[in-house]
């Protein structure tokens, strides 16, 4: 009755689905018609969309180009208003800052560097005859007194204070090397006294060289005191204004920091090294760009600028940001070349490659195309520069229009196709549900038939006994045996149905105990060999001795063996023998049941373990069965980590092999379904 109700409900559902498909399909066709009709107005929408894309790209460029520069202006003003110098870590203001300078009201440089004094060329110094003789003698390791006299002579003979300072310093180092520390100390003190603020031909300040040399010597005698002297020297160098065009301070600071490494805090060393590198970079760009700034200011471009307001002036190499604050002029040079390159890249990137428009950057002296769709000026940062958005390609617009047309048609076709696929899938689903309903109906009929036979036998024999129709003790004993046998058959059938129901709900569990699988199989055979299916049948049993122990559930394995033996008897003739063999195989135990019955077609072998499947052959359907015995067997074996193998030929019989893995040791566990 339930299966019939399911079939009627599915039939009704099918009618509803068909009605819904018609109701959806017709509006879809109307929608497709109107969609295709509206394609005529697509061209105007495309050009409007192109213009919107151009405006969007231009606005995006302006915003992204303006944001870091506006932030730079705001940060400079904020620092000045807070009393903090914007010359400290200028790259934090903008990553493109090459140098930051402070000039006084007379446009003279006051921070963070100072103009350097003219130096003699190191080459001229090295070619001075007296200097050459002294240096050559020092390299040849001549007598200390001779070399010292040559250094003294070179100092007296030279008219250059820089040469004199260097010769006295080298003579002091020679004295220290010769083991005359007092003489060396006196000479070093004379260097500081007479030439302390002077620079040698390489740009090193003499006092810095003396302090570095003293600290190096002290490091050899007393590392901690030497390290403290080196740190004081580094701090003093970092607090001083360095001279433009001379890298002596940076070189001395780096040397001192390298000696300090093992004796100073690693974080301080890393931070100081970074500060030195930044200062050296700024010093380089100050030397490179200061002449450009002087030229710009001398050209009258330093107009009066309101306090806190930036004025942007474009030079050859730098984009200068000028800001008067009080009586001081702050000048920041941004990398003009990099800014232009970034602006060109940004102009291209704001429009994706798939867009029909493209952005380009134009200088003041470049001709802008006539088909500009949108344009934005770079004032006040770069006078005369602008970003223009133009069509990427006129043909691309036509192609885009065609592409949009094709996409719309494609979407319509796709929608129709999906509706068709949906209807087809629905039909298949309904057919599947009908097949499932039919299978359940067959199952109900088969179970009813299977139940009716033992119940009928039990009732008949019970009535015979009750009414005294069994006259002799032999007939009564036979009737009792039939009642018991059919009761056992009925119990097995009910057990199978209940087990399958538990498996389907996921509620089936097994108590796994390590034991002798042969004993379990033998007990199962004793239970079933007197059943209706196997009575008077030739049953050959071969259980090999010394089989390994297997973790298994006794009742579940017995159920598998009974199902296989029952099937073997059911699908073979009474005179056909049935064989059960147990043997060791591949680190496990295999139980094989062989019959010489009707066999299984190859097309059915892959489906015989599916629930309710009973085969397509008429000879199979004529035999009783519920279609769940093999499904239960397959599940039980899988729960035991085993495998099921089937070898069958139609008309020659079948062999079902159950393989179980062997176990070592004793263990008890519960295996859930």
| Model pLDDT for residues 435-484, shown as the tens digit of each residue | 555 556 555 555 555 555 567 667 665 766 676 666 677 766 666 666 66
170 belongs to a structural domain: yes
Q: Could you tell me which residue, 174 or 664, shows the higher pLDDT? A: 174
Which residue segment(s) compose the domain that 549 sits in?
508-672
Residue 535 resides in a domain: yes
Q: Is the pLDDT of residue 11 over 90?
A: no
Mapped to the 3 state alphabet, what secondary structure does 235-281 carry?
HHHHHCCEEECCCHHHHHHHHHHHHHHHHCCHHHHHHHHHHHHHHHH
Evaluate whether residue 568 is within a structural domain.
yes
- Averaged pLDDT for residues 166-179: 88
Q: What is the pLDDT of residues 546-573, one digit of tens each?
A: 899 998 888 788 888 888 888 888 888 8
CA distance 668 to 515: 10
Sheet architecture: strand order including 374-377: 357-362, 386-391, 374-377
pLDDT 10s digits, 65-86: 999 998 998 898 888 888 888 8
Establish whether the linkage from the previous residue to 152 is cis, with ω within 30° of 0. no
What predicted TM-score, i.e. pTM, was given to this entire model? 0.51
Which of 264, 297, 322 terminates a domain? The answer is: 264
Question: Pairing mode, if any, of strands 578-584 and 539-543?
Answer: parallel
Among 264, 289, 320, which residue terminates a domain? 264
Rounded to an integer, what distance in angstroms lies between the CA atom of residue 257 and that of residue 237? 11
CB atoms within 10 A of CB 441: 16
Residue 191 lies in a domain: yes
Helix axis angle for 248-260 and 206-221, nearest 10°, is: 10
Confidence at 1, pLDDT banded by 50, 70, 90: very low
Residue 112: asked if its preceding bond is cis (omega within 30°), the reply is yes
Look at residue 664 and tell me whether its pLDDT is greater than 50.
yes
Length of the chain: 673
**484 lies in some domain:** no
Classify residue 102: in a domain, yes or no.
no
Residue 478 has a pLDDT of 66
Question: What is the C-alpha R_g of the chain?
Answer: 51
Domain count, the chain: 2
* Average pLDDT for 492-517: 70
Tokens of 501: 């129901």
Q: Per the domain annotation, does 95 fall within a domain?
A: no
* Last residue in a domain, options 264, 281, 299: 264
Between 85 and 21, the higher pLDDT residue = 85
pLDDT, tens digit (0-9, with 9 covering 90-100), for 220-232: 888 888 889 999 9
The answer, yes or no, to whether residue 592 has pLDDT greater than 90, is: yes
Residue 545 DSSP class: S
Q: Which of 22-26, 97-101, 112-116 has the highest mean pLDDT?
A: 97-101
* 280 domain residue, yes or no: no
What is the pLDDT averaged over residues 393-402? 69
* Structure letter (DSSP) for residue 329: E
The pLDDT assigned to 661 comes to 93
CB neighbour burial string for 82-111, b if at least 16 within 10 angstroms, e if fewer: eeeebbeebeebbebbbbbbbbeeeeebee
Residues 6+ apart with CB under 8 A from 392: 351, 355, 356, 357, 358
Question: Tokens standing for 320?
Answer: 């200068």
């Amino acid at each position: 009755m339930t299966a019939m109700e399911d079939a009627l409900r599915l039939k009704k559902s099918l009618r509803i689905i068909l009605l819904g498909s018609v109701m959806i399909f017709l509006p879809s066709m109307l929608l497709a018609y109107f969609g295709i009709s509206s394609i005529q107005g697509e061209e105007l929408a495309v050009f409007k969309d192109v213009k919107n894309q151009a405006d969007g790209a231009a606005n995006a460029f302006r915003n992204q180009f303006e944001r870091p520069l506006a932030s730079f202006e705001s940060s400079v003003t904020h620092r000045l208003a807070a009393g903090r110098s914007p010359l400290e870590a200028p790259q934090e203001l903008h990553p493109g800052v090459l140098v930051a300078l402070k000039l006084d009201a007379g446009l003279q440089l006051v921070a963070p560097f100072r103009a350097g004094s003219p130096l003699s060329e190191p080459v001229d110094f090295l070619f001075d005859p007296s200097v050459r003789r002294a240096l050559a003698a020092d390299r040849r390791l001549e007598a200390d007194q001779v070399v010292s006299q040559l250094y003294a002579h070179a100092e007296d003979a030279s008219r250059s204070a820089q040469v004199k300072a260097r010769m006295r310093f080298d003579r002091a180092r020679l004295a220290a090397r010769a083991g005359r520390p007092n003489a060396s100390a006196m000479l070093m003190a004379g260097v500081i006294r007479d030439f302390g603020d002077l620079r040698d031909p390489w740009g090193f300040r003499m006092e810095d060289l003396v302090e570095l040399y003293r600290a190096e010597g002290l490091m050899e005698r007393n590392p901690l005191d030497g390290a403290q002297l080196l740190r004081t020297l580094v701090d003093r160098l970092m607090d001083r204004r360095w001279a433009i065009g001379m890298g002596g301070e940076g070189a001395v600071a780096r040397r001192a920091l390298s000696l300090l490494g093992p004796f100073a805090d690693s974080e301080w060393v890393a931070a100081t090294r970074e500060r030195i590198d930044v200062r050296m970079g700024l010093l380089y760009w100050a030397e490179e760009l200061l002449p450009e700034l002087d030229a710009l200011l001398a050209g009258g471009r330093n107009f009066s600028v309101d306090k806190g307001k930036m004025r942007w002036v474009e030079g050859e190499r730098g984009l200068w940001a000028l800001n008067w604050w009080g009586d001081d002029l702050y000048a920041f040079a941004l990398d003009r070349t990099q800014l232009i390159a970034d602006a060109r890249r940004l102009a291209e990137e704001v429009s994706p490659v798939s867009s029909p428009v493209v952005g380009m950057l134009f200088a003041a002296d470049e001709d802008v195309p006539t088909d500009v769709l949108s344009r934005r000026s770079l004032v006040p940062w770069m006078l005369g520069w602008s970003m223009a958005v133009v069509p990427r390609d006129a043909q691309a617009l036509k192609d885009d229009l065609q592409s949009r047309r094709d996409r719309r048609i494609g979407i319509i076709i796709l929608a129709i196709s999906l509706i068709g696929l949906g209807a087809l899938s629905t039909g298949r689903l309904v057919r599947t549900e009908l097949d499932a309903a039919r299978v359940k109906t067959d199952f109900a009929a088969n179970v009813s038939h299977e139940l009716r036979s033992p119940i009928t036998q039990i009732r008949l024999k019970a009535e015979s006994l009750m009414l005294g129709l069994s006259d002799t003790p032999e007939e009564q004993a036979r009737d009792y045996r039939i009642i018991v046998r059919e009761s056992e058959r009925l119990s097995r059938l009910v057990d199978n149905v209940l087990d399958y129901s538990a498996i389907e709900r996921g509620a089936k569990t097994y108590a796994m105990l390590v034991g002798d699988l042969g004993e379990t199989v033998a007990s199962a055979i004793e239970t079933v060999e007197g059943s209706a299916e196997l009575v008077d049948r030739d049953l050959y049993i071969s259980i090999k001795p010394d089989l390994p122990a297997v973790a298994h559930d006794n009742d579940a394995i017995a159920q598998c063996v009974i199902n296989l033996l029952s099937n073997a008897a059911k699908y073979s003739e009474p005179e056909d023998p049935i064989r059960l063999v147990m043997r060791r195989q591949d680190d496990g135990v295999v139980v094989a049941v062989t019959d010489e019955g009707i066999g299984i077609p190859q097309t059915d072998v892959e489906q015989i373990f599916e629930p309710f499947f009973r085969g397509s052959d008429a000879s199979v359907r004529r035999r009783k069965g519920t279609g769940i015995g093999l499904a239960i067997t397959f599940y039980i074996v899988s729960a035991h980590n085993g495998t099921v193998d089937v070898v069958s030929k139609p008309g020659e019989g079948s062999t079902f092999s159950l393989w179980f893995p062997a176990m070592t040791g004793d263990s008890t566990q519960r295996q859930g379904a």
